[in-house]
């Protein structure tokens, strides 16, 4: 019988699985705490269970963590983690230092079907959605790498923020993303505050309500253009989910949730970085409770785009600031290791290249 992956389960699923082999109810919490608070990686490490119980449970549940096959560290401390999934696909997560703590940028899909023109992940297409366990597993890897165990109410957490800005469009894997966030934020386990989770979308507005009704997370919108013509060129999904409807959904979200929304705007040289583009952005965001992150485009081979000069970015920023917007210019972390926004591309290596390089893992 195929084992159930522990990290795919929420606490009530776990209770159901355990009750199917007649394990007492109180053991559910015990196991949950051992894995998610104490960081236990195998049943052998779980001393709160008798040998017989360990054997029984390990016969139906697997605690196997995701397989890290490579870690690249940037000069600025950012770490790009290459993970091989059980089916041989690869994804990347990025661990970003933020002063005293870290943020983990997680992937939600293998590749991405959205095809945004400036994005290396989109360039290489879509393979499949990640499972709940594969999403939660990325956070577990971050905690393991940083030796961030046990989880305690008094000790500060080293990995505090989780951002869904890695590979894939989270709202097209909505069900698994929501369940994974519920697992991450469960108070008896990892206890990640939902206020410290940000879900970023390229504009799948019909799913925004669904997320805001189930969770108390932050929302970020990848905007990148302030009119439909340019946005559809840069982000083909805009043809199906046009700007006016996206922005009206955002306004409604702010009103209902009381939250501020973040707009990500990647500045691409001579494409969307003129003063007129900035003025247009001001116009379409009028009345929106938001902050704006300006990100200088990170160049990658075959994109055909270039990074704007710093002076141009400053001019763009000034137009927004003069109109009273909260603007942050973000120079992405981990550029030297291709870990910056839009540069993740693990899928390109799916198949022969990585299979050869990591053949020891394939034979395990």
Residues with catalytic roles: 92, 341
**Stretch binding ligand SF4 (CB under 6 A), from 80-88, 165-173, 177-185, 270-278:** 165-173
Closest to ligand SF4 by CB, 101 or 331: 331
Closest to ligand SF4 by CB, 31 or 165: 165
Q: Token match 């560290």: residue? A: 73
CB of 233 to ligand SF4, least distance (A): 13
Interface map 208-247 toward ligand SF4 (x if CB under 6 A): --------------x-------------------------
CA atoms within 13 Å, Cβ hemisphere of 190: 29
Cis peptide before 150 (omega within 30 of 0): yes
CB-based burial, 119-158: b 16+ in 10 Å, e otherwise: bbbbbbebbebbbbbbbbbbbbbbbebbebbebeeeeebb
Interface map 84-123 toward ligand SF4 (x if CB under 6 A): ----------------------------x-xxx--x-xx-
Q: Which residues contact 194 (CB under 8 A, 6 or more apart)?
A: 181, 185, 215, 216, 217
* 96, 102, 130, 168: which one binds ligand SF4 (CB under 6 A): 168
346 is a site residue for ligand SF4 (CB under 6 A): no
Environment class of 182 (CB within 10 Å of its CB; exposed 0-12, middle 13-18, buried 19+): middle
Residues 314-343 that bind ligand SF4 (CB under 6 A): 342
Is residue 305 within 8 A of residue 299, CB to CB? The reply is: yes
Angle in degrees, CA 163, 15, 172, rounded to 5: 30
* 169, 264, 273, 277: which one binds ligand SF4 (CB under 6 A): 169
CB of 134 to ligand SF4, least distance (A): 16
Closest to ligand SF4 by CB, 178 or 346: 346
In 3D, which of 147, 123, 30, 88 has the Cα closest to residue 355?
Answer: 88
CB of 167 to ligand SF4, least distance (A): 6
Closest to ligand SF4 by CB, 74 or 201: 201
Angle in degrees, CA 22, 25, 29, rounded to 5: 130
CB of 93 to ligand SF4, least distance (A): 13
Q: Is the dihedral of CA 25, 30, 31, 33 positive or negative?
A: positive
Binding site for ligand SF4 (CB under 6 A): 112, 114-116, 119, 121-122, 167-169, 202, 222, 342
């Amino acid at each position: 019988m195929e084992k159930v992956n522990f990290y795919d389960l929420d606490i009530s699923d776990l209770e159901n699985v355990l009750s199917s082999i007649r394990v007492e109810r109180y053991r559910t919490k015990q196991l949950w705490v051992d894995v998610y608070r104490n960081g236990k990686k195998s049943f052998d490490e779980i001393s709160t269970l008798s040998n017989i119980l360990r054997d029984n449970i390990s016969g139906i549940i697997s605690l196997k963590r995701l397989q890290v096959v490579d870690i690249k560290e940037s000069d600025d401390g950012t770490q790009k983690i290459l993970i091989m999934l059980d089916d041989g696909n690869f994804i990347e997560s990025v661990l970003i230092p933020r002063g005293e703590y870290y943020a983990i940028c997680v992937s939600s899909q293998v590749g991405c079907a959205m095809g945004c023109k400036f994005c290396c992940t989109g360039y290489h297409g879509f393979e499949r959605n990640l499972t709940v366990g594969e999403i939660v597993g990325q956070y577990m890897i971050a905690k393991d790498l940083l030796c961030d165990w046990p989880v305690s109410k008094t000790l500060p957490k080293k990995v505090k923020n989780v951002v869904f800005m890695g590979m894939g469009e989270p709202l097209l894997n909505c069900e698994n993303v929501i369940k994974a966030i519920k697992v991450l934020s469960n108070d008896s386990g990892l206890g990640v505050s939902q206020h410290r989770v940000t879900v970023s979308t390229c504009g799948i507005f019909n799913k925004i309500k669904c997320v805001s009704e189930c969770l108390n997370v932050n929302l970020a919108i990848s905007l990148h253009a302030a009119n439909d013509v340019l946005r559809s060129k840069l982000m083909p999904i805009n043809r199906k989910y046009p700007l006016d409807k996206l922005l009206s959904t955002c306004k409604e979200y702010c009103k209902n949730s009381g939250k501020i929304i973040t707009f990500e705007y990647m500045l691409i040289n001579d494409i969307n970085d003129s003063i007129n583009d900035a003025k247009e952005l001001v116009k379409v965001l009028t009345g929106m409770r938001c902050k704006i992150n300006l990100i200088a485009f990170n160049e990658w081979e075959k994109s055909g785009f270039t990074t704007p000069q710093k002076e141009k970015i400053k001019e763009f920023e000034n137009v927004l600031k003069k109109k009273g917007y909260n603007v942050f210019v973000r120079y992405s972390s981990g550029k030297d290791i291709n870990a910056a926004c839009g540069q993740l591309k693990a899928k390109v290596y799916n198949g022969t290249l990585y299979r050869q390089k990591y053949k020891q893992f394939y034979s395990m």
